[in-house]
A and B are shown apart, each in its own frame.
Chain A
């Protein structure tokens, strides 16, 4: 069975607070923080994008996992902010990681679940013996229109996972749930996405996350009690808490994954960053239940068991201070004007 052999993450150091954004639009930051369940979001530096973020996370995964680059047989980058509509992010990443030329590369798009879809594809390539190890990265520098509700949460981060055999977390079971549900979209050529307001809730996020989660519980023959940690896609602080509750998970099972409170929603990196946060503190034998969500819409569900090998990787990440529990160390708060400049709106 496929296994997570290594993982790496990258979150830009800059943060802007909900309070700062809301003061620009003369709204109550307190009201909005309460409604969205988050206080700040990460912002890329002016010279950062989904490609640079993807390389940072992948490099960390390779270094900390002591991976032989030449063994990587596939690179899939999932993002909603690929800099090119035509020209692959994945080969820029592959080139800069020194992978050589003997690898399969493709860019993926499925809103916030582009990378988790890639993870299932890579698991299949590993299981079939076609490749030894494969790299999948979720990376986004998410764009949102000023004054839109999305502006408070759309954030930046990347999470890279290298799959192979005998890793730090074995992939015991996985499922996917898909439909044509237009809750959130961006037409080709448009700078900012559109969304359907309240329709993004029940018929979109909840239907698909619950759909995949129930299918996974059934396929893996488990109940929430068998799970140590759970991770759900985090468009805000409320939805993952609500869906966890509905499925019967406790808040202690969910809490370690909730990077959304101080990072916001880094779109294609959301669920995977939450998964990394859990792996950073998990113990051998722990089980992890993770379900992503991508608008348009679909959910990918994964059930992992953590192995003894996790400790070494945790130590290396701890030493370099890149574990997600340390994500708020050395951050820099910025103003709305800085935010406009850094996200190229000015």
Chain B
């Protein structure tokens, strides 16, 4: 059985103060249906990826909520895994189709975060960490700052190399009409921006964003008429919730496990990946991702990124985060994992415009929850 992405769409990501979660969902789903040239009545189930609807909006039960809002009236599920909620929703959708119980399903990743005070959002996001991390007063920038320090100490990674991740992703984002940011950065601007959690500055951190993305996934070839892409692997792995319980602070084991299994399932190797969307919630996270996915040897990714090895136009092999990543495109938590696959789909179809990676045939999406407690890796192939 092949699993096809028959349709894919995202909304603009950004500070969308006058757009509601309902409007975001309607826009993303209707966009994906239109892209799939598919009627709404073909959708047999809805998988919603979202993290903060309860804590920030007082609304849980999003499966039923959006099934009603979208006038679908189908089996519906909210899937949550912190910042990996989107990737997990896709995985659940894939598994449901592989089971044969459903043939065609929709995945919706959606998040509204910008209507709340920054301190309330930071507190809610710490729901992705452990209780001891919350009680110790840590925030997510703080946890990833620890990972950055460890990596800098062991491998000599520099602040300028971390900054080059943000520079690259803003450059890619400037070519993406849906991205939150379109301004270019320089290494100097990043390193001299305000301290958030030493050594991470403001511009090392992905923003708080609103947005939605949707996919139509089907096993029915006849419904996949618009240049479909197949999902060749969908793998989830978990590690400890707390950073303090990890075996190592210089790798995300969940990424390594999910990546290895995904390559095996898809019958490809790291060097076959033409394009990757990885989870750059902070600049250090992209460095870790590139190494833990096996795209670069441990300790070598930072200097490679600095030299343009994964940048559009100068990449030596895999081009990374053409959407702008989380840093440049924005990070509406539940939507990110889904947006990653929308980007890969557009790229493999040859429809990515100014961001196009020529001849892209194999793509990888990497979505992480918390400080690495969940990792989801998808591999997609051009049909």
The residue in chain A whose Cβ has the minimal distance to the Cβ of B17 is A203
A199 within 8 A of B: yes
B267 within 8 A of A: no
A35, B116: Cα distance in complex, Å: 21
B75 within 8 A of A: no
Shortest B362–chain A CB gap in Å is 39
A191 within 8 A of B: no
- A-B pair count, CB < 8 Å, reads 22
A314 within 8 A of B: no
A-facing mask of B9-43, CB < 8 A → 1, else 0? 00000010110000000000000000000000000
Shortest A325–chain B CB gap in Å is 33
Decide if the interface of chain A is mainly helix, strand, loop or mixed: helix
User: Are A31 and B195 touching (Cβ within 8 A)?
Assistant: yes
The residue in chain B whose Cβ has the minimal distance to the Cβ of A35 is B194
A309, B195: Cα distance in complex, Å: 52
Hey, which chain A residues are within 8 Å of B195, CB to CB? 28, 31
Partner of B117, one of A28, A35, A195: A195
Hey, which chain B residues are within 8 Å of A195, CB to CB? 117
The residue in chain B whose Cβ has the minimal distance to the Cβ of A204 is B17
B118 within 8 A of A: yes
User: Are A31 and B194 touching (Cβ within 8 A)?
Assistant: yes
A190 within 8 A of B: no
Hey, which chain A residues are within 8 Å of B17, CB to CB? 199, 202-203
A35, B202: Cα distance in complex, Å: 13
The residue in chain A whose Cβ has the minimal distance to the Cβ of B15 is A198
A106, B253: Cα distance in complex, Å: 67
A197, B113: Cα distance in complex, Å: 12
Segment 311-344 of A: residues with Cβ below 8 Å from B: none
B53 within 8 A of A: no
Hey, which chain B residues are within 8 Å of A31, CB to CB? 194-195
Hey, which chain A residues are within 8 Å of B115, CB to CB? 196, 199
A199, B114: Cα distance in complex, Å: 8
The number of chain B residues touching the other chain, given as a range, is 10 to 19
Decide if the interface of chain B is mainly helix, strand, loop or mixed: loop
User: Are A197 and B194 touching (Cβ within 8 A)?
Assistant: no
User: Are B114 and A198 touching (Cβ within 8 A)?
Assistant: yes
Shortest A194–chain B CB gap in Å is 7
A202, B116: Cα distance in complex, Å: 15
A196, B56: Cα distance in complex, Å: 13
A195, B115: Cα distance in complex, Å: 11
A65, B40: Cα distance in complex, Å: 74
Hey, which chain B residues are within 8 Å of A197, CB to CB? 116-118
Hey, which chain A residues are within 8 Å of B117, CB to CB? 194-197
Hey, which chain A residues are within 8 Å of B15, CB to CB? 198
A264, B71: Cα distance in complex, Å: 52
A58, B283: Cα distance in complex, Å: 56
Segment 91-124 of B: residues with Cβ below 8 Å from A: 114-118
The residue in chain A whose Cβ has the minimal distance to the Cβ of B121 is A197
Shortest A180–chain B CB gap in Å is 13
Shortest B198–chain A CB gap in Å is 11
Shortest B364–chain A CB gap in Å is 34
The residue in chain A whose Cβ has the minimal distance to the Cβ of B202 is A31
Shortest B247–chain A CB gap in Å is 33
* Residue of A196, A197, A199, A202 with most partner-chain B CB within 10 A: A197
The residue in chain A whose Cβ has the minimal distance to the Cβ of B18 is A203
Hey, which chain A residues are within 8 Å of B194, CB to CB? 28, 31, 35
The residue in chain B whose Cβ has the minimal distance to the Cβ of A201 is B15
Interchain residue pairs A-B with the least CB separation, the first 9: A197-B118, A31-B194, A197-B117, A203-B17, A199-B17, A196-B117, A198-B15, A28-B195, A199-B115
Chain B contact residues, CB within 8 Å of chain A: 15, 17-18, 114-118, 194-195
In addition to A196-B116, A199-B114, 5 A-B residue pairs with Cβ atoms within 8 Å of each other are: A28-B195, A35-B194, A195-B117, A197-B116, A199-B17
Chain A contact residues, CB within 8 Å of chain B: 28, 31, 35, 194-199, 202-203
22 contacting pairs across A/B (C-beta < 8 A): A28-B194, A28-B195, A31-B194, A31-B195, A35-B194, A194-B117, A195-B117, A196-B115, A196-B116, A196-B117, A197-B116, A197-B117, A197-B118, A198-B15, A198-B114, A198-B118, A199-B17, A199-B114, A199-B115, A202-B17, A203-B17, A203-B18
